[in-house]
Amino acid sequence: MKGKKLIATLLTASMLASAAAVPALADGDREDITMWFWGAEPYAQEALINLLVNPYNESQDQYNLVVEFRPSVDADIQTALAANEGPDIVYGSGPSFVMPLVEAGKLEPMDAYSEQYGWADKILTPYYESGTVNGTLYSLVNGVSTMGVFYNKKVLADNGWEVPTTIEELEAVMDAAMEKGLYASVTGNKGWQPVNENYGSLFLTHIAGPETMYKVLTGEESWENEAVIAAVTKSKEWWDKGYLAGSDYPNLNFSESLQLLSAEQSPFFIGPSIAYQWAASYFTGDIEENLGFIPFPATEQVPDTTYTLGAACTLSINANASQEHKDEAAKIIDMMMNAEFMQNMTAAWPGYWGTPLKDLSSVDTSEMPYLSQEFVKVVQSVSEAVNAGNFGYYDNVFFPSATQNRIVNIDEVWYDTVSVEDYVASIQAEFEVEFEKGLVPPIPQPAVAE
């Protein structure tokens, strides 16, 4: 079975500690090239070791790539770089995370490396440009992420529910699920408040609409407009109705949510496509193919299939590293920016390494497990949507840092701490400052805004 390799990887990787460093090779004369990464699932850590660390270390005899898996990587990166220390390769939770580090002079400009390795030619333009500040490249997105609807095929079939094609159909199934004692959908922000931004971004795309958000992000319109207010209001409506796992939203993380979905406790998990990586631990064996995924259904404001362009993470270079280490860091980043690496990583670790390449034609899914195959289809669909202009904007890619932080705090509205109008006004206040500083990344124009 195609899933056997994944199971074997899980068993092997279970011995890893979540914050452990990958051991260097025995040759003491080598210099370490360091990279900090988030505390991924054990099987995912094993994949990164086998498919990046070991091949790089075996390719030459001067350096060791050493990866540390840190659950608190964002805070660790900020603290270390502030002290002119930290790893050679800098992890970031999206381009918005990078902006303050650029402003503080902590990241190395990467234009020369881009020219050397041809990154601008092979990476989808909106993703490439999202890593630029005032025209200079400082980060590369490692993988595509988009908001959509994971669903349990068996739950839908057993209850006679159809896969929804409109938001009204989606809401009708969620209402019916709650009447049966199921979760409307399973999700939660336990241990990671930025989960909130998934839903803020989703409603800005599908209720406010890409055209409005393009005008807002380019300064043509204020955030304080009717469409944005309607989007935030819709998110609160979902919260009040219990569509986001009800009172368990603060008590669930994505891993627990996908476990509940696999156990048929809900028809839906509405969330980012990177969640395939957690689904791989629960949709296994005979129930592996129970998992389906669709883009977020049509709304009155956005009737066509539209994808919110998000990112798994970004990769940058520490400005305080030696020149030799910077050059090696760029070489290692380039190893991750090709179709072969995407294919191998996605086969072992679905959901995270959907490299935003213009050409995915060489990615062979024939030997991949089911979930990996399905994830590649999502990445290909996003790539096609970019080319067609059918996209909206994830906050962690296209919003400057302080503005993004206001989206993360959308739960202030959900919990009735602030009104929708005051909340939107606070976003506008933060955005105006960052816009004037030139901290908004280039905003690609969607088809509807032409």
Measure the CA–CA gap between 228 and 164, rounded to whole angstroms.
24
Measure the CA–CA gap between 378 and 157, rounded to whole angstroms.
23
What are the beta bridge partners of residue 136? Answer: 133
Token readout for 110 is: 């990467």
Token readout for 343 is: 């294919």
- For position 14, what pLDDT does the model report? 36
What are the beta bridge partners of residue 205? Answer: none
What are the beta bridge partners of residue 351? Answer: none
For every one of its 450 residues, what pLDDT tens digit does the chain have, with 9 covering 90 and above?
Answer: 344 344 334 333 333 333 445 444 445 689 999 999 999 989 999 999 999 999 999 999 999 999 999 999 999 999 999 999 999 999 998 888 888 899 999 999 999 999 999 999 999 999 999 999 989 999 999 999 999 999 999 999 999 999 999 999 999 999 999 999 999 999 999 999 999 999 999 999 999 999 999 999 999 999 999 999 999 999 999 999 999 999 999 999 999 999 999 999 999 999 999 999 999 999 999 999 999 999 999 999 999 899 999 999 999 999 999 999 999 999 999 999 999 999 999 999 999 999 999 999 999 999 999 999 999 999 999 999 998 999 999 999 999 999 999 999 999 999 999 999 999 999 999 999 999 998 898 999 998 544
Model-level pTM greater than 0.75?
Answer: yes
311 within 8 A of 144, measured Cβ to Cβ:
yes
User: Angle 420-436/226-241 helices, nearest 10 degrees?
Assistant: 130
DSSP 383-431: HHHHHHT-EEE-HHHHS-HHHHHHHHTTHHHHTTSS-HHHHHHHHHHHH
94 within 8 A of 302, measured Cβ to Cβ:
no
What are the beta bridge partners of residue 227? Answer: none
DSSP 343-384: HHHHHHSTTT----BS--TT---TTS-HHHHHHHHHHHHHHH
Domains of the chain: 3-144+311-376 (3.40.190.10), 145-309+386-449 (3.40.190.10)
User: Angle 226-241/210-217 helices, nearest 10 degrees?
Assistant: 120
